Amino acid sequence: MLKVDNVTKVYKVGTFGGRTMTAVDTVSFDVRPGEVVSLIGESGSGKSTIGKMILGLTPVTSGSITVDGVPIQPGKDYYRTVQGVFQDPFSCYNPVFKADRVFALIKESYYPSVPDAEWTERVRSAIQDVRLNPDEVLGKFPHQLSGGQLQRLLIARALLLDLKLLIADEITSMLDASTRIDVLNLLAELKARGLGVLYVTHDLSLGHYLAERTVVLRRGTIVEMGLTSKVFDDPLHPYTRQLLSAVPRLHAPWDDIEPPATCLYHERGGVGGLLEADPGHYVACAQLSDC
């Protein structure tokens, strides 16, 4: 369904766009219906940039993104089926309006002819679907609600549309442990409904819990990708191994990865970005730099 094909994003930074910064470098992966794909990488690795490009909130520098074979066309029709939920629920609400305005905007754009009473019913049932009590959350300002409530309302908002694809960008990182599980269960339900979910995270254990497939991103490039079980049980890339090593080491920066004596990618004569080591299990060159 979603196909990200050799996508690169170069940001212009500095006055007059004097310098550039490559945030995402020739990334390709796909998400199928009814599948959760987790995109794992440390902060600054370009995860949100990928999410924003898929959502059409920032243009790609090169490469293509298609949904059902059609290049994405950000706009009202596109967002009827493709939605995003972001990391920081507090900044997703306009602080001068009540939180339920996010529902009113959906109605205004997509369901202007639905009678108010029926719409209210739909909103209330979507809110119940995310296990909130409509009476507790409707008619309140964002600062009167908790992060978990706000985040769930955003999921409820997405549920009001006929979604095919949801981009969930670190949606649990601001939540406490118990709410986090609830939200993840919600994503599992969406998956069961046949939605494709791109689950962006830096939290390994939770990604494991949910996703069929895992994409490991490092400094804007994919270093390893494949079935979650393969990537987690049999990591091929030294960066993935380090990510998975249970104890984070103090004093040793993440980038101090010792390249292994033998690099699978070179042994097997990989070409292009990724080598298909096992069926459906891809790995990049272990040298972590040009080689």
Ligand X SMILES: Nc1ncnc2c1ncn2[C@@H]1O[C@H](COP(=O)(O)OP(=O)(O)O)[C@@H](O)[C@H]1O
Q: Which of residues 100-129 bind another protein (CB under 8 A)?
A: 100-106, 108-110, 116-117, 119-120, 123
Q: Which of residues 52-91 bind ligand X (CB under 6 A)?
A: none
CB 45 within 8 A of CB 217: yes
> CB under 5 A: which stretch of 40-48, 62-70, 206-214, 261-269 binds Mg ion?
40-48
Q: Is 38 in the site for Mg ion (CB under 5 A)?
A: no
Q: Is 151 in the site for Mg ion (CB under 5 A)?
A: no
Q: How far is the CB of 24 from ligand X (least distance, A)?
A: 7
Rounded Cα gap, residues 75 and 26, in angstroms: 25
CB 220 within 8 A of CB 213: no
Given 46, 84, 89, 270, the residue binding ligand X (CB under 6 A): 46
Nearer to Mg ion, 211 or 217 (CB): 217
Tokens representing residue 271 in the block:
């070409």
Nearer to ligand X, 57 or 114 (CB): 57
Give the β-pairing of 36-40 and 213-218. parallel
- Coil, strand or helix: which one is 16? helix
CB 126 within 8 A of CB 159: yes
Q: Is 207 in the site for ligand X (CB under 6 A)?
A: no
- With vertex at residue 42, the alpha carbon angle to CA 40 and CA 47, rounded to the nearest 5 degrees, is 55
> CB under 8 A: which stretch of 30-38, 135-143, 196-204, 256-264 binds another protein?
135-143
- With vertex at residue 92, the alpha carbon angle to CA 86 and CA 98, rounded to the nearest 5 degrees, is 145
Closest CA to 219 of 284, 269, 162, 137: 284
- Coil, strand or helix: which one is 210? helix
Given 28, 38, 48, 221, the residue binding ligand X (CB under 6 A): 48
Q: How far is CA 224 from the centre of its chain?
A: 17
Q: How far is the CB of 65 from ligand X (least distance, A)?
A: 15
Give contact residues for ligand X (rule: CB under 6 A). 11, 13, 21, 23, 41, 43-49
Give contact residues for Mg ion (rule: CB under 5 A). 48
Give contact residues for another protein (rule: CB under 8 A). 16-17, 52, 55, 57, 74-76, 79-80, 83-84, 86, 88, 91-98, 100-106, 108-110, 116-117, 119-120, 123, 134-135, 138-141, 143, 154
